[in-house]
Chain A
């Protein structure tokens, strides 16, 4: 429960209000999260929040944070050289072994692309291990698309579709929600290992779309978000039905939370 003192090695605002922090000096001593796992980042005097792994830079870890509350605002305001605390890694990440030898479908909405990015990196790096791979990325507007500079590399390896909810007139890409693009990528849904992360309502609809196309609920992995204070199943805040998302999640098979997700306010 004791944070390790770390330092910001690099900072970049990668979208409006969204900052990429490369955290150094400590990553090796606490261990690097697996794709889908998270660290607790501490802005001393303000508080601590769970932030998923966005990537690695040598021994440093990269976290992408959107300023939505007091703690994330404080973290986003950090500059290179500034100190912060870190605990982790926590939780259960993506189970990529479920995808070995199978088709893969990845659906990312908004900031949901962040925890999926290391997974996409693994798949692109070991492309031959998988069948057809579909990657659907959505964001509010073109300027909210994260990691757009990596789309060319990803698009060369997998079937990539990108869409935005709202676009200025110079946008030549797709406009609409990610759920409309499930048929735009060619994967065998009966067989595909499906990975979804985004706003909860988007995950709900995306899961429904792929369930309707025959993907079993235990082949759909989603990364859930809840309030967390401890990361080790003690504070009780992250419960979703029987699941402590901080330990069993944040990545859980849809089958595990399907019943809870049918009830408002679970």
Chain B
């Protein structure tokens, strides 16, 4: 069971063994390059916004063993690695992160290019989504059309209805597996007033989003590849790759050989990589994207523009993590606005 939980002064998705490990009584304060855990003084379970890290590490782990082999100069034995089956329950996942998994599905479950590691981990996921009623200052899922209320892709979707006197969960059953779980849960039938209360919370959440992204801006920015704004943001960007690590949809990787000390055993590992590294675009020993400007442009235009060509939608779900985790607080919603100006 993976759920948001308090770890190292943040709320992050991680393994929990009981509901007591949910971030009860905590929310977060997020802004560009800023994250603080904040007590709420209530016993709400889901009062926080985007967890600091995404859920992708559970489906596409930072390191995955692909191939094991034994080799000498004249002999090679290759042994495929069959990923261990894992049955996850994702509890308390927000609409933005659910949408992000939908995007990763298009990459790793493409009919002619299924990734066995991803497919094995993804297949059994039981999703208990939660409507996000406390968006943070870096959130803009409403702009990206992914949230704050999950619309599909869940077995159960919860809305926490809390106003001091009342503390209930409105549950929307999204699948037979979800219905089977609910058969063992006590409760009362929902009435119209419950739906209205949930809708009102969602409406307040939309209004409370700290950021916005105009969907017309990315194509305008793409038409300005030589805009001075690229150089300006590159002057602040550290090319550290934090944004790509915390992004719930960034999927790029490297595959590395790892050899045994005796030299006869070899493994091939896939590891997360980032388009902000020099090695990522290395060709004949030199990077094609030699400058931070070219790397930032690749990242932003891939995320917001060419993703549409490749996968039929934006690659950004509006979770705001890249803003929060940027050491210098670069805000893509602000950058794209500048870059879209003619």
Q: Is B291 an interface residue (CB 8 A)?
A: yes
Residues A73-98 near B (CB distance < 8 A): 81-85
Q: Is A241 an interface residue (CB 8 A)?
A: yes
A85-B78 CB under 8 A given contacts A45-B266, A226-B281: yes
Residues A228-251 near B (CB distance < 8 A): 229-230, 232-237, 239, 241-242, 244, 247
Is the Cβ of A265 less than 8 Å from the Cβ of B294? yes
Complex: chain B residue closest to A231, CB-CB: B113
**CB proximity of B18 to chain A, nearest CB, Å:** 36
Chain B residues with CB below 8 A from A234, complex form: 107-108, 113, 115, 251, 253
Cα separation A266 to B252 with both chains bound (whole Å):
16
Residues of chain A at interface, number, CB under 8 A: 41
A-B pairs with lowest CB-CB distance, top 9: A265-B294, A236-B252, A242-B309, A83-B76, A44-B71, A232-B113, A242-B306, A5-B76, A2-B80
Is the Cβ of B285 less than 8 Å from the Cβ of A69? yes
Contacts A/B (CB < 8 Å), 12 sampled: A1-B66, A2-B66, A68-B285, A69-B284, A82-B73, A83-B71, A84-B76, A227-B288, A234-B253, A235-B253, A265-B291, A265-B295
Chain B residues with CB below 8 A from A85, complex form: 69, 76, 78
Residues of chain B at interface, number, CB under 8 A: 54
Chain B residues with CB below 8 A from A229, complex form: 253-255
Q: Is A225 an interface residue (CB 8 A)?
A: yes
Chain B at the A interface: SS class: mixed
Is the Cβ of A230 less than 8 Å from the Cβ of B282? no
Chain A at the B interface: SS class: loop
**CB proximity of B209 to chain A, nearest CB, Å:** 29
Residues A5-51 near B (CB distance < 8 A): 5-7, 42, 44-48
Q: Is B283 an interface residue (CB 8 A)?
A: yes
Complex: chain A residue closest to B70, CB-CB: A44
Instruction: Please pick, from A3, A69, A232, the residue contacting B78 in the complex, using a CB distance under 8 A.
Output: A3
Instruction: Please pick, from A3, A5, A81, A235, the residue contacting B254 in the complex, using a CB distance under 8 A.
Output: A235
Q: Is B9 an interface residue (CB 8 A)?
A: no
Is the Cβ of B283 less than 8 Å from the Cβ of A225? yes
Complex: chain B residue closest to A225, CB-CB: B283
Cα separation A69 to B286 with both chains bound (whole Å):
10
Is the Cβ of A266 less than 8 Å from the Cβ of B282? no
Is the Cβ of B73 less than 8 Å from the Cβ of A265? no
Q: Is B259 an interface residue (CB 8 A)?
A: yes
Cα separation A244 to B107 with both chains bound (whole Å):
12
Complex: chain A residue closest to B225, CB-CB: A263
Cα separation A209 to B251 with both chains bound (whole Å):
38
Contact with B along A50-80 (1 / 0, CB 8 A): 0000000000000000001100000000000
Is the Cβ of A237 less than 8 Å from the Cβ of B281? yes
Is the Cβ of A266 less than 8 Å from the Cβ of B107? no
Is the Cβ of A235 less than 8 Å from the Cβ of B71? no
Is the Cβ of A265 less than 8 Å from the Cβ of B78? no
Complex: chain A residue closest to B307, CB-CB: A242
